[in-house]
Amino acid sequence: MTAGMGQARKRSEPRTLRRGVLCTLAAVGMWTVGIAGMAPAAVAADVQSKQWYLKAMGAEDIWKSVTGEGIKVAVIDTGVNPSTPSLRGQVLKGFDASESKGEATDDYTGHGTTMAELIAGTGKGGGLQGLAPGAKIIPMRISDTERQNEQAVNAHDSEDAIRAAADSDAQIISMSFGSEFASVQELEAVKYAESKGKLFFASAGNNAEKGNKLEYPASYPQVVGVAAIDRNGRVGDYSQHGESVDIAAPGNDIPGWCDENFKSYCNKHGTSAATAIASASAALIWSAHPDWTANQVLRVMFDSAARPEGSKKGTLSNYLGHGVVRPGAHINRGLGKPGDPNLSPLTNKKTTASPAPSAPASSQAPKGGSESDAVVTGSSKSTDDGGQLGLIIGIGAAVVIAVGAFAVIRKRRSA
């Protein structure tokens, strides 16, 4: 997966075998909001009205209890601009693993900033409203294929960023990037993050119609692979499926920054946004239970995920994994049990460490930076504007999943 090996790394917008069969595709459920076009044109000024999934997930009711306060999310991406109205005061000291021009707060495409806003944006100034607005963001910048082709970069930025995130105060790692190439160094970094008690989400990928090859880091055993659904609960045609999918989240028709100029938002789709929303869901649950481990937060996410009527516990979908995230089902209704704090729900193996989720102030800051709890106030790149399924994502839904959409787990992932 390293740049030095010429391996393409993609932003995910548009293992040993865990399951013995591939399943037929259907949908998760019908949502109570209408369908809009997918054209990547600039959205209206009221971008929050385009965030259809917030209503579907019952975000307002969740925020009456928790908003993600006390939780930090390391966003491994193209950088995060802390100067957008929605992210002012939300971004902590980060790390530029790419070693390219700029620093962690210089987002060279707008992609990383979008992910950060979807997680922890405050919605101020008409910007994106994050699902976990009480959380904080620690940016970890890496390079994509285009940047690798344009300038010299660190050939091991992915694994360096993962290790820096593992050593930071972040409880959650969110990585909306992927590559068809696995690497020993990256896998070791992922294992290191697990040993530090981190909960790691990564995008399953957007190439379902172009070979549907496994992507990494989502396909490593210790990482939660995230697929994408639309507002009708149907898995996106682009959303990769198979053994790497652990859970699904909204990913279609999600607003995001059009480019690195941060002038306007565009409608987009992909497992990138789904990964950010899944990470924010974890932040909400962890905020409600700050003494839990990553294993317990993830187990509750799996147990409370929206599943088709009649599907049995202990089954997985190749398209949805354990189902669609719905943090409100746990926060407001108590669904899901935390279980063994030291047993991974991904591998069914004991984890090597289960530290408390909130690291002490003396914990190691991201490599190359100062203490991570110092809020970044600006960027060197300025901007001009400052019963069925029951409650599928917090509201009523009718199930339309085919019986074959879930299959009994034949094999589990092993490290």
Residues with catalytic function? 77, 111, 272
Q: What are phi and psi of 124, to 5 degrees?
A: -65, 150
- Dihedral sign for Cα 326, 332, 334, 340, please: positive
Tokens read off for 22? 């591939």
| Residues in contact with 176: Cβ distance below 8 Å, sequence separation at least 6, in sequence order | 11, 12, 13, 77, 111, 115, 202, 203, 270, 271, 272, 273, 275, 276
| Residues in contact with 52: Cβ distance below 8 Å, sequence separation at least 6, in sequence order | 31, 33, 36, 231, 250, 253
DSSP state of 350: B
Q: Distance between CA 49 and CA 42 in Å, rounded?
A: 14
Strand, helix or coil for residue 163: helix
Q: Distance between CA 16 and CA 9 in Å, rounded?
A: 22
Tokens read off for 203? 């995008």
Q: Distance between CA 77 and CA 95 in Å, rounded?
A: 11
CA neighbours closer than 13 Å in the CB half-sphere of residue 401: 28
Task: Look at residues 160, 133, 136, 113 and name the one whose alpha carbon lies nearest to residue 63.
Answer: 133
Tokens read off for 90? 């939300």
Provide DSSP, 66-98: ---TT-EEEEEES---TTSTTTTTTBB--EE-S
Strand, helix or coil for residue 261: coil
202 exposure class (CB count in 10 Å sphere: 0-12, 13-18, 19+): buried
Q: Distance between CA 270 and CA 254 in Å, rounded?
A: 8
